[in-house]
Amino acid sequence: MPETPRRARQAATLSLVFGAVLLAGAATGAWGDPGTPAHRPSADAAPAARAAAAPGALAAGQDPAGAALSEQQAERLIGANGDRWGAYYSAQEYAEFSQGLDGRYLGVGLSVGRGQDGVTAVSQVQPAGPAAEAGIAAGDRLLRVDQDQADRLPVTEVVARLRGREGERQAGSEVTLAVQRGDGDVREVRLRRALLDSQQVAVERLDKGVLRITVRAFTSGVAEQVRAAVAGAHAGVVLDLRGNSGGLVEEAVGTAAVFLDGGPVGSYQDRGGTRELTAPPGGDQRTPLVVLVDGGTMSAAELLAGALQDRSRAVVVGARTFGKGTVQQPSRLADGAVLELTVGRYHTPAGRSPEGTGLTPDVPATASEDAGALALRVLAGLGTRA
């Protein structure tokens, strides 16, 4: 099945709500152009006067809110503008996407990835979710989704099937998987989809009082979860943003504020001009901090890493980030669908845009090196800030 701009954009949405589902594909470029919105979707405020607008009537830069565009017309508009990150969503798809940004998603509680050998495997299983209750574990090979062989589908399509096709996207709907552990027998399991918490923050307490905080995506409430985790931590923090697909820019800014005593976090453009992003005073500037990044670190996650790097608050360790530095503005169309178009770029406090180039870590990890272990060595060398 070929990748369309719409499907590539949906892949990023699925990546966000599953929590780094497509890390392998994102890092290798195997599934097209991923991306996630850099800010919370705007409320529907379409003027009635534009409800009958046709695609040809939209001037360059004009907000398409209220326009009567079919999916095909919307895709043509995206293509005509050369918008790499633009996308069209049906009303139902966008409602599900917004639900994902609020920290919930409809699914079976597993993440999948595809290695260079072409094998589709389970990369993560959510505790107490339908997949976990059926005994599926990370590392299991996913052979079939319903009657289709998983390895013959794009990873994005595998994820879409797990979430459900049109008419199946409701709690209690079923999907049948064939899985295999190692060289064992192939096992067929029938799972019922459920509304699950996306669990985008994981906290691990390491030796000598060091915290490793993994943030998989910036959904609602992530900044407060990071703040709660950091409270009382003095030995050091490793903030792991590897595979983080982005999300809500206010959550990324809020996370930056946990480690900054006020000041700039970045800026972005929209149709109203340039918006400055700042942290309120009172953040923790004493605890040593290392930020882990890789080729799957995108969008709002790049903004966060770049802000902490520019402000000399953290040492960034790992690999060059993905390189998505643009902002998409959602507009509600006449039929309730949503068209997202790129309206500008965001920049770090030093004026850098990661678009197309990504961010370079302060301490690169070689391909054969354990980046997590390298981050801990760097953290040990930082000492306690005065």
Q: Kindly indicate the confidence band of residue 256, based on its pLDDT and cuts at 50, 70 and 90.
A: very high
- Which residue type occupies 312? S
Total structural domains within the chain? 1
Query: Looking at residue 314, which CATH number applies to its domain?
Result: 3.90.226.10
The answer to whether residue 26 sits within a structural domain is no
The answer to whether residue 17 sits within a structural domain is no
Q: Kindly indicate the confidence band of residue 281, based on its pLDDT and cuts at 50, 70 and 90.
A: very high
Q: What is the pLDDT of residue 147?
A: 93
The answer to whether residue 242 sits within a structural domain is yes
Q: Summarize the confidence of residues 151-169 as an average pLDDT.
A: 82
pLDDT per residue as tens digits for the range 38-88: 333 332 222 222 223 344 446 556 778 888 999 999 999 888 888 888 888
The answer to whether residue 13 sits within a structural domain is no
More confident residue, 138 or 383: 138
Q: Kindly indicate the confidence band of residue 271, based on its pLDDT and cuts at 50, 70 and 90.
A: low
pLDDT per residue as tens digits for the range 99-125: 666 666 788 988 888 877 889 999 888
Q: What is the pLDDT of residue 63?
A: 78
- Cα separation, 96 vs 98, in Å, equals 5
User: Lowest-confidence range among 116-125, 134-143, 166-175?
Assistant: 166-175
Pull the structure tokens for residue 14: 């699925």
The answer to whether residue 15 sits within a structural domain is no
Q: Summarize the confidence of residues 349-364 as an average pLDDT.
A: 96
pLDDT per residue as tens digits for the range 9-41: 444 433 333 322 222 222 222 222 223 333 333
- Cα separation, 28 vs 115, in Å, equals 10
For residue 306, give the nearest of 269, 361, 261 by alpha carbon: 361
The answer to whether residue 370 sits within a structural domain is yes
The answer to whether residue 112 sits within a structural domain is no
The answer to whether residue 223 sits within a structural domain is yes
Q: Domain of 283?
A: 201-324+347-382
